[in-house]
Structure 1
Amino acid sequence: MIAVPADSLPSETLTIPSRVVDPALARPLTIKASYYPAPATTLAAAPLVVFNHGSTGQGAERGRIPRHAMLRYESQARYFHARGFAFLAPMRRGRGESEGDYLESYAWDALKLAEGLQHALDDVDAVVEFMRRRPEIDGRRILVAGHSRGGLLSVAYAGRHPAGVIGSISFAGGWIAERGMMEDFNREVFVRAGAGAETPSLWLYAENDRHHSMATIRRWHDGYTGAGGNAELYLFGPIEDDEGHQLLERPGLWQSAMDAFLHQLGFFW
């Protein structure tokens, strides 16, 4: 049943089977996701945004966000809802109310980072394909978007599934904070994504992002576009909250850029 809290968008929690079967349960582990249906005025099947969360904190402590907390991204859902989109915010395995272990390593080890990214990509693919089969969703018009780890994850997913989505959006995207040689891990993911991407991408960063310098972000963008990707990069001025990493909470800054990107994809309202 769809719950309608005061001053909130209509929403419900979906249970989505992951790609991983738990032998003890004899079924796939489940992914929980906050779902905001498209406006009731939508006449045909609606476009969908799948919004991917960031790391949620350090792995050893199960994250600075409580283990069972669901990140619902309602303010971002409002922006897309007003433009006719359905919006889904899944919690990957081991986070929120999703089952399983959190396997997205924080170790300064490229192999472990790559394994964690693959776990995350598997979860995104399970979610996208589940939603594609829903009758109220237009499976030909799915966007992947996200914040921090979820931003890089969305760009990487679009590069690996070029026929599956119509574009990707990255808010402050990066899998691991800039530190020594690990910065190269992010760039290599973006280069690989650019080589496979067939749809546009939108990258949004604040100049004072606490995890990534502007020089590094430009280097990632150069790598992505040099490999063949099409990405529009916006670098906004410094913002105060969380040293720039929470740009997604400032729609007044990015709304015009997002509107232009959606128009580029053929959406008008």
Structure 2
Amino acid sequence: MRRAISALALALVFGWTGSAEAQTAWPAYMPQLAAGPSEGDLVAVLPSDVKVLPPDASLSPARARWSGVWKGWACFGRACDVQVAVEQVSEQQATLAYAGANAVQGQITDRVEGRFVGDEFHAQLRTRSRLVLRLREDGDMEMSLWDPQDKLLSAGVLTQKPFRYERRVSRVPTPWIEDGKPLTLELVSYLPPGGGKGPLPTLIFNHGSTGEGNKPEWFKQTATSPEVAQYFVDRGWQVLMPQRRGRGKSDGLYDEGFEPDRSRYACKAELSLPGVDRAVADLDAVMAHVKTLPGVDTKHLMIGGISRGGVLSVVYAGKRPDSFEGVVNFVGGWVGERCGYADRVNPVLFRQGAAFKGPELWLYGDKDPFYSLDHSRKNFEAFEAAGGKGRFMTYSPRPGQIGHFISQSPSLWTAAMDDYLKEVDRH
């Protein structure tokens, strides 16, 4: 349900101690990771005295291509910004400057010497985490950090190429005032490089919840889905990801269905469902703003989301059926099955979405700890019985991943999404 990395995990990434170097065992999902800007609030800054020396003319091309400055991301949810400057390289070793930044720990910088082990570069940071890098055939760089017990702490991708999309952050006005101050919402936008030639077809993509709702520190972490954004931007769309009241950097109280003491999300329908109405009101404010933006093609709008954002998108399209061409629902549901009340909440919401008369695309993963495929199929059946139309697609997650995060693996659903966009164009 969440895409944000916890403070504990960030501390692990940048703060382990130990000295042992281990044989690298890259995770199977590495080929699925793509280069792009980080989703973090801070930008990694290399030391001011970085100086990249031109590779010696006698150096092999395989080694020479390591030279230069690399930028990108690491950590779960792309929460850490990373830059690496390979300043000097030989056949056996290299000197590099490292910079990592995240909202919890701020800036971490280092300068290290390391050695090549086959096609990999190995070095130990001053935090005593083991840094391992390797180059892809397409020229990008895979990076990983390991603890002293050879446990993977973080992985990501760096590049020397221009990013395939631009990420911008803006504010959305709302009609609400709290403590005498007008509330605004955070809006994260993903656009083609240079902003594209608008107006552009636009996807409004909605975030999920924060697990059980019992960690208020997670409410303030901006929740995005850059893999989804990159897919659509590559096809000429822009993607807008609003943060609802109290989430990310948005103003106001986060109040989407809590227990009376706000200790966690409520399970019972009478407490949980009013949270949907509040989220719908937030989306009304977002859509009123979106329709004023000159870069938005208001005749070509889609809505989608993940988890709570998925079911919210279905509901909202049902309430505002003339606003959108299509709906994309990744692993949608409002309360998890562990609540015991999911069958009294989720089907009720999905039936509300049946008023949208266009086709919808529902994408679900096996081994989802929140919504089993059996439960989600029943929700789709309830949606269809109420008059809704669409396709229900299921996928097995990649090794080491869970079905709730299939949105992070575009190779699973790209073909289905391509077909769906063609279908939407025909309507």
> TM-score when scaled to structure 1?
0.89
Deviation of residue 39 (structure 1)?
5.3
* CA–CA distance in structure 2, aligned partners of residues 18 and 43 of structure 1: 28
Q: Deviations over 1:21-67 (max 9, x none)?
A: 32511x3x11001112345595451110111110023334215x3x4
Alignment partner, residue 37 of structure 1: 191
Q: Give distance in 1, aligned partners of 2:358 and 2:200.
A: 19
Map 1:230-249 onto structure 2 (within 5 A): 230-249=389-408
Distance 1:209 1:59, change over 3 A: closer
Structure in which a larger fraction of residues adopt strand: 2
- The one-letter code sitting in structure 2 at the alignment partner of 1:97 is K
Does structure 1 residue 11 correspond to structure 2 residue 167?
yes
Which residue of structure 1 lines up, in the alignment, with residue 225 of structure 2?
Answer: 73
Aligned residue for 2:326?
Answer: 167
How far apart, in 1, do the equivalents of 2:224 and 2:411 lie?
20
The alignment-based identity, stated in percent, is 32
Describe the SS at the equivalent of 1:129.
helix
Verify the 8 A CA contact 2:269 2:344 in the aligned structure 1. Answer: no
Residue 224 (str. 1) matches residue 376 (str. 2): no
Determine helix, strand or coil for the equivalent of 2:425: coil
Asked whether the equivalents of residues 335 and 341 of structure 2 are also in contact (C-alpha less than 8 Å), the reply is: no
For residue 186 of structure 1, the aligned residue among 338, 346, 352 is: 346
* Alignment size in residue pairs: 260
Other structure's SS at 2:402 match: helix
Distance in 2 (alpha carbons) for counterparts of 1:98 and 1:241? 33
CA positional deviation for 1:101: 0.7
Structure 1 or 2: more helix by fraction: 1
Distance 2:358 2:167 in 1: 29
Contact 1:48 1:88 in 2 (8 A): yes
8 A Cα contact 1:155 1:170, kept in partner: yes
8 A Cα contact 1:51 1:87, kept in partner: yes
Q: Aligned pair 1:57/2:217, yes or no?
A: no
CA distance in 2, matches of 1:204, 1:126: 27
1:214 aligns with 2:373: yes
SS at the partner of 1:89? strand
CA-CA distance at 1:12 after TM superposition: 1.3
Distance in 1, matches of 2:228 and 2:363, equals 14
Alignment correspondent of 1:198: 357
CA RMSD of aligned residues (A): 2.1
* Larger RCO (alpha carbons 8 Å, 6+ apart): 1
1:72-221 correspondence to structure 2 within 5 Å: 72-105=224-257, 106-179=265-338, 180-194=340-354, 196-221=355-380
Residues of 1 paired with 2:235 and 2:272: CA distance? 36
Q: Determine the C-alpha separation between the residues in 2 that align with 1:72 and 1:222.
A: 29
TM-score (norm: length of structure 2): 0.57
**Distance in 2 separating the partners of 1:244 and 1:57:** 14
Q: Which runs of 5+ in 1 are unaligned?
A: none
How far apart, CA to CA, are the structure 1 residues paired with 2:195 and 2:275? 40
Q: Find the counterpart in structure 2 of residue 20 from structure 1.
A: 176
* CA radius of gyration, larger in: 2
For structure 2, the 5+ residue unaligned runs are 1-36, 44-70, 73-162, 258-264
